[in-house]
């Protein structure tokens, strides 16, 4: 995918170029929204709002190389907005089925469920790192904290995840 | 190296983000500590599996189609216009129009002697402004002011700091010395961008803006590009946020033409650039 060219064309208003870009990123964005919100339908709303907002604001993006980072930032803001909204409103009736299909094996499903058992801040950090594939520096900027905090939170999140999945903890191992 | 330190650096190690001597120390530790090696292997597998999750989640096609259809109905917002006065806004717009007409033909432009208003071009400009005006019906009053300002505009070829460039003159009310000094500052900034001369950039900018340049070097330092070709520059306008000046340039490495919008402030040590934004 020639991202720079697609971003430039989308910036000029090409829906076709934008949709190609979106198709490339939508799975990881949805997964990130899902792990932050914990609700599959909220995550769908977040994804949809993000992609619409990004298309409308694309002309303000200065450096096309930062597209992914910029898009992730919008997604995180939309996720927090959604969390605030759900806090103050009664949950909407959603169809019983999920808006997505999961094609992974059992190990992946266990991991997916384990992820949901972590605290919000650890789910966000793992999503940004492994779903969005962002460097520590950009994560620190999105989360408005130091790079040191990102690193230690990341290590802690992995440790918690290992614990939920029943891996022997470090402390148990060295005992 | 103890187990605690090895454990704390597992993520960075697996992401290949560690440097020496820590890297060798951890590698050494892992060769003889079975427990840590097990922990590293578990974490590595966990990360690998986490990375595999997004590709396995697929939105139902009907929902995806609905979402894409919604996008297809949207139109992007036009670029946010700068909150400059009408005169600066008019100059910026004209700079763009000019560059697509007369300025695209340097040979033709050279025929005109310096300091002589280019009458033909002004005619073209007025035609264009008339067209612009009819487009902006909702801004009738604004358009009136715009027209008056446009009529006062002159285009001249001038030599600023050794660079020959077309100057779009506005009634700026600034002294000619300050005007030239600020214009020359903007041109020197662009030259330093192409040279990657950090010392010069630092000397020309406010500490805050220089910090931004350092933070986002790839956006501001253009040593990898071709040579710079100056097309045109506006006179300096005095605004609430400082002095503003627009410079239109192109790059010899490709055909793209773009505009640098400068905001300049007066400090105890002279004029300093406090911000620069790009407009295509």
pLDDT digits (tens, 9 = 90+) for B37-93: 999 999 999 999 999 999 988 887 777 777 777 777 776 655 444 445 555 655 655
Residues of A in contact with B3 (CB under 8 A): 170, 174
- Between chains, do B11 and A31 touch, taking CB under 8 Å as contact? no
Smallest CA-to-CA distance from B153 within B121, B181, B130 is with: B121
What is the full DSSP assignment across B34-48? Answer: HHHHHHHHHHHHHHH
Smallest CA-to-CA distance from B155 within B247, B233, B90 is with: B233
Mean pLDDT, all residues of chain A: 85
**Interface pTM, i.e. ipTM:** 0.87
On whether any CB of chain A is under 8 Å from the CB of B17, the answer is yes
- The whole-number average pLDDT for the span A111-138 is 91
Residues of B in contact with A30 (CB under 8 A): 54, 57, 59
Contacts of B234 by beta carbon, 8 Å cutoff, 6+ apart: B88, B91, B92, B95, B167, B168, B170, B245, B246, B247
* B contact test, residue of A45, A155, A157 with most B CBs within 10 A: A155
Residue B12 C-alpha from the chain's centroid: 34
Contact (Cβ atoms closer than 8 angstroms) between residue A57 and residue A67: no
- Between chains, do B57 and A31 touch, taking CB under 8 Å as contact? yes
Whole-model pTM above 0.80?
A: no
pLDDT digits (tens, 9 = 90+) for A64-93: 888 999 999 999 999 988 877 765 555 555
Contact (Cβ atoms closer than 8 angstroms) between residue B252 and residue B226: yes
């Amino acid at each position: 995918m020639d991202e720079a060219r697609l971003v430039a064309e989308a910036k000029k208003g090409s829906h076709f170029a934008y949709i190609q870009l979106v198709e490339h990123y939508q799975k990881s964005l949805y997964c990130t929204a899902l792990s932050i919100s914990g609700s599959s339908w909220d995550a769908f709303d977040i994804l949809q709002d993000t992609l619409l907002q990004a298309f409308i604001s694309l002309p303000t993006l200065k450096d096309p190389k930062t597209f992914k980072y910029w898009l992730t930032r919008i997604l995180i803001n939309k996720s927090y907005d959604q969390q605030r909204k759900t806090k103050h409103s009664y949950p909407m009736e959603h169809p019983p089925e999920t808006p997505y299909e999961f094609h992974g094996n059992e190990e992946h499903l266990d991991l997916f469920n384990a992820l949901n058992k972590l605290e919000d801040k650890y789910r966000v950090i793992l999503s940004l790192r492994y779903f969005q594939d962002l460097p520590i520096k950009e994560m620190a900027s999105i989360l408005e904290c130091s790079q040191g905090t990102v690193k230690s939170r990341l290590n802690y999140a992995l440790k918690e995840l290992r614990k939920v999945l029943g891996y022997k903890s470090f402390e148990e191992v060295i005992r | 190296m103890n187990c605690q330190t090895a454990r704390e650096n597992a993520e960075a190690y697996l992401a290949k983000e560690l440097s020496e001597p820590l890297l060798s120390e951890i590698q050494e530790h892992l060769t003889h500590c079975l427990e840590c090696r097990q922990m590293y292997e578990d974490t590595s597998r966990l990360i690998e599996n986490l990375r595999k999750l997004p590709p396995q989640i697929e939105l139902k096609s009907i929902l995806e189609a609905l979402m894409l259809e919604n996008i297809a109905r949207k139109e992007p917002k036009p670029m946010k216009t700068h909150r400059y006065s009408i005169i600066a806004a008019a100059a910026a717009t004209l700079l763009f129009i000019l560059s697509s007409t007369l300025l695209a033909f340097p040979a033709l432009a050279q025929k005109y002697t310096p300091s002589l208003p280019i009458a033909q071009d002004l005619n073209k400009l007025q035609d264009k402004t008339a067209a612009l005006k009819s487009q902006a019906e909702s801004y009738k009053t604004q358009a009136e002011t715009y027209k008056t300002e446009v009529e006062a505009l002159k285009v001249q070829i001038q030599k600023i700091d050794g660079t020959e460039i077309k100057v779009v003159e506005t009634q700026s009310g600034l002294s000619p010395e300050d005007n030239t000094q600020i214009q020359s500052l903007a041109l020197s900034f662009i030259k330093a961008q192409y040279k990657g001369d950090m010392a010069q950039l630092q000397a020309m900018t406010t500490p805050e803006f220089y910090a931004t340049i350092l933070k986002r070097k790839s956006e501001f330092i253009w040593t990898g590009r071709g040579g710079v070709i100056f097309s045109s520059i506006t006179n300096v306008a005095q605004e609430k946020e400082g002095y503003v000046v627009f410079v239109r340039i192109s790059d010899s490495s490709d055909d793209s033409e773009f505009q640098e919008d400068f905001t300049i402030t007066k400090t105890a040590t002279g004029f300093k650039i406090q911000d620069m934004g790009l407009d295509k």
